[in-house]
Chain A
Amino acid sequence: MPAPVKLGTLLLLSGALAISACKTKPPKELPPEPGAPTSSTDTGQLGAAVPGSQADFVQIMAGQDTIYFDTDRYDIDSGDQAALAKQAQWLARYPAKRATVEGHSDERGTREYNIALGERRANAAKNYLVSLGVDPSRLSTVSYGKERPVALGSDQQAWAQNRRAVTVTID
């Protein structure tokens, strides 16, 4: 399992070293966490998160609860692997916790296909978590296709943020 220190460093530097971590995925120009909520479960208040809660998960992941995909793709690249490893660490610390991986697409596709594509992305993330030792019975997937965008624009940057799989732990 990758060392958390290294991951944290990477995260801190990611703004400056945009080319460093990501192999294929288009780097988001904005760090994902400020402003927009990262998933459909809005966990609200920072600071006093109960250890092992979804709020705690969101806080500790610091944006790494979400992985991003290229157009029409669902492969897990090196940046995604780091994020999923961090998620797996947290899940290992709280073995009673279950989680749902939500798959999403951008708006530039047809509705039904995008639901299937989101399912495929969520499934890819789930499979990678399982490969890191998370019991598959703790993980479920759901796809929202293009119906739940997190970035509301109609441009490349927004679409890159919407092609995502978000891990949400169940309180």
Chain B
Amino acid sequence: MTKCFTTPRFTLALMLALAGAPLAAQDAPVTGTPAPQPTAQGAVEGDDGGLTGSVSDENEWQDLGIAITTFATDRDVPTQTNAGSTAQLGQAISQVIASDLKNNGLFKPTGPAGLPQPTLPQVQMPDYASWSGRGADMLVQGYVKAGADGQLTVGCYLYDISLTRQLIKGGWQFAASDWRRAAHKCSDLIYSRLSGESPFFDSKIAYIAETGPKGRRMKRLAIMDSDGANHRYLTSGQAMALTPRYSPDYSKILYLSYLNGQPSIYSYDLATDRQTLIARTGNPTLAPRWSPDGKWVLYSMARGGTTDIYRISAAGGGTPQKLTNGPGINIGGSYSPDGSKIVYESDQSGSQQVYVMNADGTGQRRISFFGGRAATPEWSPRGDQIAFTHIAGDLRVAVMNPNGGGMRHLTNSWQDEAPTWSPNGRIIQFFRTAKGSGQASIWQVDLTGRNERRLPTPVGASDPAWGPIRP
């Protein structure tokens, strides 16, 4: 099997040394980083009533018309990509950017088909008047160049047509096999600059691929890019795989496997394709979770009819620390972004409900009191919301504040469960099961409850786990 997950030979975001307009409108870029840095992280910590503030900014930027032209090149030469020559790659990159924005309901993108193709010099000197005549608010242009070493250099420029000004630019080097990442980086640059939000396109998703009849369905560990591209199966399907979680650095995936008959958590190393048991307990372990810094792993262990949550060092070794102590089933766990708290699920009250505790297990308290059952809580990377599965007849994806207030349904279907957050906390993926057939598919919806769509996967899909933005 060819390894798609080579260590990204990605030279950190060289800001392009270019003559041209100074980046007047840019938000104080950190040297070497093309995108505005996230500012939302932690800003709302402790603000439990932040719901309206975080979703009401459905403002005019969504309606911006953005023209995306075919990326130009200095020489049309073959590349080691599946897209073809540099000229073909230029078109493919523009198409990926347009799809990124369109599929997520962001802006009103047009092109690259049907738009004039800029020459390489025009990439940095757009004809504002003619674009204005076409009714575009924003213009995205760029170039792709192939280096002698097979590396690709991609530049990306965003122009404001009415202001006749460059808003931001970015440039990246990638191995040919990672060319789509350059397109996602450009999408992130545009999205962040225009919306003020943190980026999310250049990220990956681990999930469970499902095939076969309902009573004997094969469930395999699989990964893909955030747009469904670069799909790859990691396990053969001989042993049932469930509930994966990417490590924050994308080097490993924790998941549940029935490899030795008993459900147990394994760590899948993506560099070596080796798997190891995370804990030898003699009891079933399930529901693996990472701490935000990747140093800790939470798992749940069933024993004698009860289930409790434990914490161990991700590096291995050390004694597992038991964080909950019955009664009933205490399971899962999702860290707050600062790592200080854990939201989890417990049925100690008689039905599944959501609880919060400190990271050392102290201060346990229930936060869900709105009726029905509440399960699979996941803390937003922004800290201000908790996504979960609300069970009241049907299963629906919902969000609430970290104090349990402001509960809001985002979906309304027969069975939607297991939400996972986009790296910027603006979008939620989950899986939907069809009544009767039990066919599972991954969907996403944004925090406003809009732009619900199914993700393209080659076969049935469940248990999405969205990883962080890639460096």
Checking B214, B215, B243, B306 against A112 with a beta-carbon cut-off of 8 angstroms, the contacting residue is B243
Contact with B along A148-163 (1 / 0, CB 8 A): 1110111000000000
Within 8 A of B (CB), among A74-113: 74, 107-113
Contact of A72 with B by CB under 8 A:
yes
How far, in whole Å, are A72 and B353 apart by their CA atoms in the complex? 13
Contact of A116 with B by CB under 8 A:
yes
Interface size class of B (residues with CB under 8 A): 35 or more
Interface CB pairs A-B, < 8 A, 24: A107-B415, A107-B433, A108-B395, A108-B415, A109-B352, A109-B391, A110-B375, A110-B389, A110-B395, A110-B418, A111-B418, A112-B286, A112-B376, A113-B329, A113-B331, A115-B263, A115-B302, A117-B329, A120-B306, A123-B304, A142-B284, A147-B219, A149-B438, A152-B438
Contact of B300 with A by CB under 8 A:
yes
Contact of B305 with A by CB under 8 A:
yes
How far, in whole Å, are A113 and B263 apart by their CA atoms in the complex? 13
Within 8 A of A (CB), among B383-414: 389, 391, 395
Contact with B along A119-162 (1 / 0, CB 8 A): 11001100100000000000000110001111011100000000
What is the number of residues of chain A that contact chain B, defined by CB distance less than 8 Å?
26
Give A contacts to B, CB under 8 Å: 72, 74, 107-113, 115-117, 119-120, 123-124, 127, 142-143, 147-150, 152-154
A-B pairs with lowest CB-CB distance, top 5: A119-B302, A123-B305, A116-B307, A110-B375, A116-B329
Which residues of the other chain, A, contact B306 by a CB distance below 8 angstroms?
120
Which residues of the other chain, B, contact A142 by a CB distance below 8 angstroms?
261-263, 284
Contact of B332 with A by CB under 8 A:
yes
Flag if A147 contacts B240 (CB, 8 Å): yes
Expressed in whole angstroms, the minimum distance between the Cβ of A38 and any Cβ of chain B is 12
Within 8 A of A (CB), among B295-313: 300, 302, 304-307
Flag if B332 contacts A112 (CB, 8 Å): yes
Checking B261, B286, B389 against A116 with a beta-carbon cut-off of 8 angstroms, the contacting residue is B286
Contact of B6 with A by CB under 8 A:
no
Flag if B263 contacts A153 (CB, 8 Å): no
Expressed in whole angstroms, the minimum distance between the Cβ of B30 and any Cβ of chain A is 39
Nearest residue, chain B, Cβ from A115: B286
Judged by DSSP, the binding face of B is: strand
Which residues of the other chain, B, contact A143 by a CB distance below 8 angstroms?
263, 284, 302
Expressed in whole angstroms, the minimum distance between the Cβ of B356 and any Cβ of chain A is 18
Give B contacts to A, CB under 8 Å: 213-217, 219, 240, 242-243, 256, 261-263, 284, 286-287, 300, 302, 304-307, 329, 331-332, 345, 347, 351-352, 375-376, 389, 391, 395, 415, 417-418, 433, 435-436, 438, 462-463
Expressed in whole angstroms, the minimum distance between the Cβ of B328 and any Cβ of chain A is 9
Which residues of the other chain, A, contact B345 by a CB distance below 8 angstroms?
113
Flag if B217 contacts A147 (CB, 8 Å): yes
Checking A109, A115, A119, A152 against B214 with a beta-carbon cut-off of 8 angstroms, the contacting residue is A152
Checking A74, A112, A154 against B331 with a beta-carbon cut-off of 8 angstroms, the contacting residue is A112
> Do A119 and B284 contact each other (CB < 8 Å), given the known contacts A110-B395, A110-B418?
yes
Flag if B436 contacts A154 (CB, 8 Å): yes
Expressed in whole angstroms, the minimum distance between the Cβ of B69 and any Cβ of chain A is 45
Flag if B417 contacts A120 (CB, 8 Å): no
Flag if A116 contacts B331 (CB, 8 Å): yes
Which residues of the other chain, B, contact A109 by a CB distance below 8 angstroms?
352, 375, 391, 395
Which residues of the other chain, B, contact A111 by a CB distance below 8 angstroms?
242-243, 417-418, 462-463
Which residues of the other chain, A, contact B389 by a CB distance below 8 angstroms?
110
Which residues of the other chain, B, contact A108 by a CB distance below 8 angstroms?
391, 395, 415
Flag if B304 contacts A110 (CB, 8 Å): no
Which residues of the other chain, B, contact A115 by a CB distance below 8 angstroms?
242, 256, 263, 284, 286, 302
Which residues of the other chain, B, contact A123 by a CB distance below 8 angstroms?
302, 304-305
How far, in whole Å, are A18 and B152 apart by their CA atoms in the complex? 73
How far, in whole Å, are A104 and B376 apart by their CA atoms in the complex? 19
Flag if B375 contacts A113 (CB, 8 Å): yes
Flag if B376 contacts A110 (CB, 8 Å): yes
How far, in whole Å, are A120 and B306 apart by their CA atoms in the complex? 7
Which residues of the other chain, B, contact A72 by a CB distance below 8 angstroms?
347, 351
How far, in whole Å, are A110 and B329 apart by their CA atoms in the complex? 13
Given A113-B331, A115-B256, A115-B302, 4 other A-B contacts at CB below 8 A?
A74-B305, A113-B375, A113-B376, A115-B284
Flag if B284 contacts A148 (CB, 8 Å): no
Which residues of the other chain, A, contact B286 by a CB distance below 8 angstroms?
112, 115-116
Expressed in whole angstroms, the minimum distance between the Cβ of B160 and any Cβ of chain A is 46
Checking B305, B395, B438 against A120 with a beta-carbon cut-off of 8 angstroms, the contacting residue is B305
Which residues of the other chain, B, contact A127 by a CB distance below 8 angstroms?
305
Flag if A120 contacts B243 (CB, 8 Å): no
How far, in whole Å, are A142 and B433 apart by their CA atoms in the complex? 24
> Do A152 and B215 contact each other (CB < 8 Å), given the known contacts A112-B332, A116-B331?
yes
Which residues of the other chain, B, contact A119 by a CB distance below 8 angstroms?
284, 302, 305, 307
Flag if B435 contacts A154 (CB, 8 Å): yes
Expressed in whole angstroms, the minimum distance between the Cβ of B354 and any Cβ of chain A is 12
Which residues of the other chain, A, contact B256 by a CB distance below 8 angstroms?
115
Checking A74, A112, A147, A152 against B287 with a beta-carbon cut-off of 8 angstroms, the contacting residue is A112
Flag if B418 contacts A116 (CB, 8 Å): no
How far, in whole Å, are A111 and B415 apart by their CA atoms in the complex? 12
Expressed in whole angstroms, the minimum distance between the Cβ of B17 and any Cβ of chain A is 51
Flag if B436 contacts A153 (CB, 8 Å): yes
Which residues of the other chain, A, contact B391 by a CB distance below 8 angstroms?
108-110
Flag if A120 contacts B329 (CB, 8 Å): yes
Expressed in whole angstroms, the minimum distance between the Cβ of B209 and any Cβ of chain A is 14
How far, in whole Å, are A132 and B262 apart by their CA atoms in the complex? 25
How far, in whole Å, are A109 and B287 apart by their CA atoms in the complex? 15
